[in-house]
């Protein structure tokens, strides 16, 4: 699967690794819902680290979209919550 | 629902909206290509802006460093002449400068980080734009308007996502740089007020007072250190009853 870490680029990650990311992903959602900054930072860092270490960078000129998109490494909880609610951020 | 999936949907919905715009899908390719080039231009301007801010911080840091060095020399001189009060003031200023220097270093690192992030992003965007241009020409040459729809969608989906990412990255970088600029503007003001000057200049207002408040006990330790350094040689000349300049006639 192709995953994008925002502000960093696309990674090709084996499917079984993506499955293993789910608990961290769920934890991230729970952290956002609870407004728990520390937990959010921890889960995000762990999630991105797993993608980086098990994925390989996709060539810069690859034109395909990503299957999954992850927040930038220094994203705050508020920013991510805003991305989810406000689509106006992204130019067509 | 999964965050990774939700975020990807946010980007996809934008991409598909961009696709609905033109009657002939092939026109959408040209339109998108123009937008891509515009975005790349903006991106390069963004990189220049960040680099300018970084250089400004570097200049400030150099100036502060020079002042700090000079103040240490002045403190030494003052002590040699038995003017502990002046030495104290010079060291107080130097302490204020160190505080600012630490802050500047942090700003500089952050700006450097933003700069290299934007440089990387524009490199990726440029590579994708190149690939898109080739794909666009192929589609226009080989498919009728009726056939092109899917191909256009495929070509656009990835680059729209990239553009969304880049657009957001630039926005975030601008915000960060703006707040850093405000802080480095504050350093400029401090410098202009004389608080971070060495003591060569005549204009020497209330800042010394402020400095004393802000620096506290560090000054005493610094004084001790300097005394130690000066120690032996001055002790000798004091024993013989005066400073070196006015020794026995």
Interface of A with B in 51-80 (CB under 8 A): 59-72, 79-80
pLDDT in tens, B226-238: 888 887 665 566 5
- Given a cut of 80, whether residue B38 has pLDDT beyond it is yes
Q: Determine contact: B164 vs chain A, CB below 8 A.
A: yes
Residue matched to tokens 């204020």:
B96
d(CA B58, CA B52): 10
Residue matched to tokens 């975020």:
B7
Of the pLDDT bands very low, low, confident and very high (cuts 50, 70, 90), residue B184 is confident
Q: Determine contact: A34 vs chain B, CB below 8 A.
A: no
H/E run at residue B29: helix B25-80
Residue matched to tokens 């999936």:
B5
- Dihedral pair phi/psi, residue B224, rounded to 5°: -60, -45
Q: Which residues of A touch B131 (CB under 8 A)?
A: 61-63
CA distance A89 to chain B (A): 7
Q: Dig out the tokens for B235 from the structure.
A: 């002790």
pLDDT in tens, B59-114: 999 999 998 998 888 888 888 877 788 888 889 989 989 989 999 999 999 999 99
Q: Determine contact: A88 vs chain B, CB below 8 A.
A: no
Q: What's the CA angle centered on B248, arms B245 and B249, to 5 degrees?
A: 95
* Sign for the pseudo-dihedral over CA of B22, B24, B28, B34: negative
| Predicted pLDDT at A57 | 96
Of the pLDDT bands very low, low, confident and very high (cuts 50, 70, 90), residue B213 is very low
For residue B129, what are the β-bridge partners?
none
CB B115 within 8 A of CB B54: yes
ipTM > 0.95 for the complex: no
d(CA A1, CA A20): 13
* Sign for the pseudo-dihedral over CA of A23, A25, A28, A32: negative
d(CA A3, CA A18): 9
Q: Is A70 helix (H, G, I), strand (E, B) or coil?
A: strand
d(CA B41, CA B43): 5
CB B159 within 8 A of CB A89: no
Q: Determine contact: B153 vs chain A, CB below 8 A.
A: no
d(CA B204, CA B211): 12
CB contact under 8 A, A72 and B158: no
């Amino acid at each position: 699967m192709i995953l994008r870490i925002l502000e960093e680029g696309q990674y090709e990650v084996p499917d079984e690794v993506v499955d293993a990311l789910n608990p961290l992903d769920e934890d991230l959602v729970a952290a956002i819902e609870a407004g728990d900054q520390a937990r959010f930072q921890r889960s995000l860092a762990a999630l991105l680290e797993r993608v980086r270490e098990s994925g390989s960078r996709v060539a810069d000129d690859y034109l395909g979209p990503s299957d999954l998109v992850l927040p930038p490494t220094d994203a705050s909880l508020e920013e991510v919550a805003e991305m989810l609610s406000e689509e106006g951020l992204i130019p067509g | 629902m999964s965050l990774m999936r939700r975020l990807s949907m946010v980007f996809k919905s934008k991409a598909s909206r961009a696709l609905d715009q033109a009657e002939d899908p092939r026109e959408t390719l040209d339109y998108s290509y123009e937008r891509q080039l515009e975005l790349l231009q903006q991106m390069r301007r963004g990189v220049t802006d960040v680099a300018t801010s970084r250089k400004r911080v570097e200049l400030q840091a150099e100036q502060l460093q020079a002042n700090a060095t000079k103040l240490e020399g002045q403190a030494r001189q003052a002590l040699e002449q038995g003017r502990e009060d002046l030495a104290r003031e010079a060291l107080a200023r130097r302490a204020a400068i160190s505080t600012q220097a630490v802050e500047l270093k942090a700003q500089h690192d952050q700006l450097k980080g933003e700069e290299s992030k934007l440089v990387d992003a524009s490199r990726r965007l440029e590579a994708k734009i190149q690939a898109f241009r080739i794909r666009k020409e192929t589609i226009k040459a080989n498919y009728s308007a009726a056939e092109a729809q899917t191909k256009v969608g495929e070509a656009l989906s990835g680059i729209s996502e990239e553009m969304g990412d880049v657009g957001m990255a630039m926005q975030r970088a601008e915000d960060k740089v703006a707040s850093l600029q405000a802080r480095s503007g504050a350093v400029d003001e401090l410098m202009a007020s004389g608080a971070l000057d060495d003591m060569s200049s005549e204009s020497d207002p209330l800042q010394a007072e402020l400095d004393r408040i802000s620096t506290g006990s560090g000054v005493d330790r610094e004084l001790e250190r300097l005394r130690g350094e000066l120690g032996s040689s001055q002790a000798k000349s004091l024993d013989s009853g005066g400073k070196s300049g006015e020794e026995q006639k």
